[in-house]
Structure 1
Amino acid sequence: MPRVVKPKDVRRAEVLDRALALFLERGYENVSLNDLLAVSGTSKGAFYHYFPSKEALVVALAQRSAGEAFEVLRPVFDQPGKNALERLNAGLAASYQVKLGMGVPEPIAAMRSLLMPENQALFRKIVTIWEDLFRPVLTEVITQGVREGVFDTFDPEGVGDMIQGFAASIQDYLVRMFDAADAKSRRKTIDDCVKRLKLYGIATDRILGLPDGATVVLERKQVEAMMTLFMPSRPAGSLP
């Protein structure tokens, strides 16, 4: 039978899928180019045809991950007939669901692996590309709010960057959840996370010239749900 030659974009997507599975299994730092060639079933020449280097493949993975999230979230931020605060809050609330993969096992497992120390290089690239992709969206929403008189800031893009920085820093608490040895430690991690989220919410409100509590933040029950998703061996009822 003649050999089936797949379109370049299909073959490239397959290489990305297999590389991601390998990174999540072994850790980004523990995967060599030869490992990627073996798992993807490509020659070195064919691999370089798709990706000039291992780092280029990682960037492509990050771009794909961020792009998929963007496709889901952009319509939420762009809802017609909403004022800027309503658009911002809808987008922030939807981001929580998207970043947790809507609770389905595969994205949760991927995120759990990405937060491990050996995958920090890959995770940082994903976060950076995510932020670059969403910067114009947040800037536009905040600029609209200034124009409407809902927000009061002289730097809409800077405020958007601060909001994204607040969101990214929550990953540190997820890592601490992994390391919590007992119920007392888990309870303290949750308490610390909820307190910090409240602070971030107030900070966002104040830099936008809003009353405290105007912007959406995760509540304790949502943080507990996040912990249950990321640590499924610990049933929800065992959380403090």
Structure 2
Amino acid sequence: MPRVVKSPQERRAEFIAAANALFFSKGYANTSVNDLIQHVGVSKGAFYHHFDSKQAVLEAWSDDMLEQYRQVIGGLVEDPNLNALTKWETLLRRTNQWEIGQKDIMLGFFKIINMDENLQLKHNFMQKVSALLAGYYEVILCQGNQEKVFDAPSTTVTARLMVSVLNGFSEELTRKMLNTDKMSDLLDEVVVEVKATQLVLERMVGAKPGSMPLINDQLLHAWFTE
């Protein structure tokens, strides 16, 4: 049988798909490079042509997730037909819908990158996420200042601070989710945190209370449906 020649992009995608499947079925710690190689059905040399370790596959997976998110958001923040508050609401809604649509994958991914051996990878990933979000927020803040719905000083600094607040909220929420056997038990507590975080952000940018929703009730309940 002739050898199947695939492009580097196709092989890379195959290893990421294998990692996605094996990290969940066997667990990250119990998945070896040989497991990935056997799952894809290639030689050891083919693996090391693309990656130098199992963790490198995980990093590629995280980069792919970030690219998926960019595509979900698309040109939203530059859309000239939307006002600043609509852009904010749509950005958060698309983000939440995308995450809920792959809830198990997201929770599994965050469980893996929170392992001690992957903390540097987590740091790198969060830096990329933070830079992307800060860019989105700054565009929305500048427009909101012009429209007089925000009164945000130094939009660059304010956007960065908004990211810090939301990262802290997400980190705490993820910690709780990964340390509970029953997601529904967290709902009441999370509702309080969502409202408090929203109020903090609105005060940071001088927005009218209630004008910058983080997540609607339907999507919030979807997160905590067993």
TM-score above 0.5, yes or no: yes
1:74-103 Cα offsets, whole Å, 9 max, x none, are: 3333332222222112101111101112xx
- Deviation of 1:126 after TM superposition, in Å, equals 5.0
Summarize the alignment of residues 93-112 of structure 1 with structure 2, pairs less than 5 Å apart.
Answer: 93-101=93-101, 107-112=102-107
| Counterpart residue identity of residue 174, structure 1 | M
- For residue 104 of structure 1, what is the aligned residue in structure 2? none
- For residue 156 of structure 1, what is the aligned residue in structure 2? 158
Following the alignment from structure 2 to structure 1, what is the Cα–Cα distance between the partners of residues 10 and 34?
21
- Deviation of 1:166 after TM superposition, in Å, equals 4.8
- Confirm whether residue 143 of structure 1 aligns to residue 138 of structure 2: no
- Deviation of 1:220 after TM superposition, in Å, equals 4.2
- Deviation of 1:128 after TM superposition, in Å, equals 4.5
Q: Answer yes or no: is the 8 Å Cα contact 2:162–2:201 preserved in 1.
A: no
Following the alignment from structure 1 to structure 2, what is the Cα–Cα distance between the partners of residues 35 and 224?
37
Summarize the alignment of residues 2-41 of structure 1 with structure 2, pairs less than 5 Å apart.
Answer: 2-41=2-41
- Confirm whether residue 226 of structure 1 aligns to residue 220 of structure 2: no
Summarize the alignment of residues 65-84 of structure 1 with structure 2, pairs less than 5 Å apart.
Answer: 65-84=65-84
CA 1:205–1:138: 2 relative to 1, 3 Å = same
In the alignment of these two chains, the number of paired residues is: 217
CA 1:128–1:29: 2 relative to 1, 3 Å = farther
Following the alignment from structure 1 to structure 2, what is the Cα–Cα distance between the partners of residues 166 and 148?
29
Structure 1 portions without partners, runs of 5+ = 102-106, 232-240
Following the alignment from structure 1 to structure 2, what is the Cα–Cα distance between the partners of residues 196 and 138?
21
- For residue 131 of structure 2, what is the aligned residue in structure 1? 132
- For residue 120 of structure 1, what is the aligned residue in structure 2? 114
Q: Answer yes or no: is the 8 Å Cα contact 1:201–1:217 preserved in 2.
A: yes
- For residue 202 of structure 1, what is the aligned residue in structure 2? 199
| Counterpart residue identity of residue 216, structure 1 | P
Q: Give TM-score scaled by structure 2 length.
A: 0.82
- Deviation of 1:163 after TM superposition, in Å, equals 5.0
Q: Answer yes or no: is the 8 Å Cα contact 1:93–1:216 preserved in 2.
A: no
For 1:174, which of 162, 174, 177 is the aligned residue? 177
- For residue 52 of structure 2, what is the aligned residue in structure 1? 52
Q: Answer yes or no: is the 8 Å Cα contact 1:127–1:168 preserved in 2.
A: no
Structure 2 portions without partners, runs of 5+ = none
| Counterpart residue identity of residue 203, structure 1 | V
1:23-45 Cα offsets, whole Å, 9 max, x none, are: 12222233222322222223332
Following the alignment from structure 1 to structure 2, what is the Cα–Cα distance between the partners of residues 119 and 80?
37
1:121-177 Cα offsets, whole Å, 9 max, x none, are: 46936554433333322222223323443322222332342354155233234335x
Secondary structure (helix, strand or coil) at the match of 2:114 reads helix
| Counterpart residue identity of residue 33, structure 2 | L
Following the alignment from structure 2 to structure 1, what is the Cα–Cα distance between the partners of residues 133 and 160?
13
